[in-house]
Homo-oligomer: A and B are copies of this chain.
């Protein structure tokens, strides 16, 4: 099994804080693997809403998730404070690839990291549509990355 290396905090320019919850801990006393994906969703959608790219209640274009993946390096647990680093690695005509890293407290390297691919569709017909302008602008900032190599 070839495993990816944990991404460093320096690989990200944009962050959103994530608050852990009592219920995130499962019987093993750590955040259950499925919960990491709800952190991804929350961090990215919060960014999109704050930058005016997503209108939850009224927007006519929505992002459907078609692919997700996550690697887990270190256990997280309530009441840890988590910082989610966000970046975009590909912007297609109708789809976008986001990468998210979850940093525990002040850790330098990710406790978990992953990606997901959004395909943007019309809310009613669920047919793919070209990325709206406001979204493209918001994503352009996420695609800017530190030259950290």
Contacts and interface: CB of A to CB of B under 8 A. Distances in A.
Contacts of A35: 23, 34
A28 interface: yes
Contact of A19 (B17, B37, B73, B77): B17
A125 interface: no
Contact of A92 (B1, B33, B37, B64): B1
B57 A29 contact: yes
A138 interface: no
Interface residues of A, number: 50
Oligomeric state, in number of copies?
4
A28 B62 contact: yes
A68 B69 contact: yes
Interface string A63-80: 011111111110101110
A145 to B, nearest CB: 20
Interface in A1-37: 1, 3, 17-19, 21-23, 25-29, 32-37
11 contacts: A17-B19, A19-B19, A19-B42, A22-B38, A27-B56, A33-B65, A42-B78, A64-B75, A66-B73, A68-B69, A68-B70
